Structure 1
């Protein structure tokens, strides 16, 4: 029942700023650990082979440290309650909806305001982004982050308890920090990036199914797969393709990174390209319906375990 209570607590309180102004957020602490490891073990003077080996060892160290931390927490007298709060703070439904909704609210005021807000949740260039581009970017971020911010961590929470949750979160955080194919991190971050792909493989496809069920869309799963494999990530394309069909819009397409325009293919190419703030809000509604399905699934698993 711990994952169920964590889901409900996250939906109720999200990430209270008053709390994190006093103590560091668990994800922030993970980020600091990863940054320390990057500075300590990723030497610019090392060759690529040495960097890859160091990256593998760091990845193993991060996993081991989270496993040990989880065992310590679970052994405490109040370990059950601590696990609920840790789970709630590492799931990201409420905060995701708030960030995405903020883009829709800003888009109603001006495109310039919306560019600032969407720039907080996407990694692409937002200067000069059109209204439609802002809306599409927000919807894509909503779908992808629902997968790796809620479904995936909850999946591993249910499968492997608190160790599974903490290990997933630190690997996913590491991927977002050192998993890029840059000269500094191409070899060093390889292990964390590949492990993140493995840990997200089932949750990403499960997320696509959940979104389709929540939106009552009868799209063929083969069509979702056709669009999903166009994505540069082996996993991110699945929730994105499902959300595109849930809303009837086209997502992805050309976008700019570091001043360079890249001609990415469209997802659900036959959909509308003129997404707007109403589509962003529709995506938020789909995600809340999807959350309800996730909650129901977690309850069923908890009841089955209780019976068995």
Structure 2
């Protein structure tokens, strides 16, 4: 079984099964184990002197361990590779969480805020329905890249070791990569490596969304919009989604009680958003997912036959 077909099957398994509670209530999810390892290294090594060097050593250790564990999984055969890859993808859980935001907003703004607070770190306690909707679409766009396209890309490059390396680096970035006083030095290597590993997948995700959303002709504007984002990578899928839906994303938001006046992505797009826009964005992501699975399946089939 070639890697293209294994990945296509893994993406389908993830889309059908998602994150089964019966399993993860009985066994620790790999992301939880990664988080525990990162937390232990953070607690033990994140101190001066040489916090940056210790952080670099920590991420190198995590990468080596992920590669070694991934190699062991490959020795178990293609079924094991497919199952582990499906577990490390997050398409079904992502769209389910974002769709829940639209469902919540249709009940009340408070319910929408509660649903979005589960997937974003910004302060949404006073957010309007439009702001909650915007946060949901932004999270969907960015995490479709981080949670689906990037892991799939690195599986194609390096098999199970490749996807495990990506996931442990991405998890480390989410835990210690923020520019807080505590992690500015120790988390530097994790944040920079995560930027590198997401550089191609983020732009690929943007291109795929633009293709499905009929916004390829606006690619030069998507590129300009993406550069306005504070992240070197997150702006690409967000900019493509904004152009495909003809809406404005990003803009001012609050973190820890402080309003950050961030630039708008597609600032001339519609800013008054509603739950239907989330539905449209979720549909767009499903269609993009379907395009990727179709391409992988066809290429994998032709490689098997010819």
Partner residue in 1 for 2:85: 87
Residue pair 2:207, 2:216 contacting (<8 A) in 1 also = no
For the aligned residue pairs, the C-alpha RMSD in angstroms reads: 1.2
1:230-241 matches, cutoff 5 A? 230-241=228-239
Partner of 1:131: 129
**TM-score (structure 1 length as normaliser):** 0.95
What stretches of structure 1 of length at least 5 have no aligned partner? none
2:10·2:83 contact (CA, 8 Å) conserved in 1? Answer: yes
Quick one: distance in 2 between partners of 1:242 and 1:82?
Answer: 35
Map residues 133-282 of structure 1 onto 2, 5 A cutoff. Answer: 133-282=131-280
Q: How many pairs align?
A: 302
Q: Aligned with 1:136: secondary structure? A: helix
Q: Aligned-pair distance for 1:296? A: 1.9
- Say yes or no: does 1:42 pair with 2:40: no
The normalised TM-score by structure 2 is 0.96
The reply to whether residue 58 of structure 1 matches residue 58 of structure 2 is: yes
Deviation for aligned residue 1:217: 2.4
Output the CA distance in 1 between the equivalents of 2:140 and 2:61. Answer: 31
CA distance in structure 1 between the aligned counterparts of 2:45 and 2:303, rounded to whole angstroms: 42
Name 1:4's counterpart in structure 2.
8
Find the residue that maps to 1:220 and give its secondary structure: helix
Asked if the contact 2:218/2:243 (under 8 Å) is kept, the reply is: no
* Counterpart-to-counterpart distance in 1, 2:300 and 2:119: 33
Question: Does 294-303 or 92-101 show the bigger shift?
Answer: 294-303
Alignment check: 8 A CA contact 1:249 1:271 kept = yes
Q: 1:307 offset after TM fit, Å?
A: 5.9
**Contact between 2:210 and 2:219, CA under 8 Å: does it hold in 1?**
no
1:100 maps to which residue? Answer: 98
Distance in 1 between residues matched to 2:196 and 2:246, nearest whole Å: 30
Contact 1:158 1:298 in 2 (8 A): no
Tell me, in whole angstroms, the C-alpha distance in 1 between the residues paired with 2:305 and 2:201.
25
Hey, what's the Cα distance between the residues in 2 that align with 1:301 and 1:157? Answer: 15
SS in 1 for 2:254: strand
Give how far 1:305 is off.
Answer: 4.5
1:304 Cα deviation from its structure 2 partner: 5.5
CA distance in 1 between partners of 2:295 and 2:144 (Å): 16
**Equivalent residue in structure 1 for 2:17, among 3, 7, 13:** 13
Cα deviation, residue 40, structure 1: 1.2
Alpha-carbon distance between aligned partners in 1 of 2:188 and 2:219, rounded to the nearest angstrom: 30
Are the counterparts in 2 of residues 97 and 142 from structure 1 also a CA contact under 8 Å? yes
User: Could you tell me how far 1:300 is from its partner in structure 2?
Assistant: 4.0
Distance 2:157 2:9 in 1: 16
Structure 2 unaligned residues grouped into runs of 5+ = none
* Structure 1 SS opposite 2:233: coil
SS at match of 2:215: coil
Please, which of 13, 31, 34 is the counterpart of residue 35 of structure 2? Answer: 31
- Which of 292-301 and 157-166 deviates more? 292-301
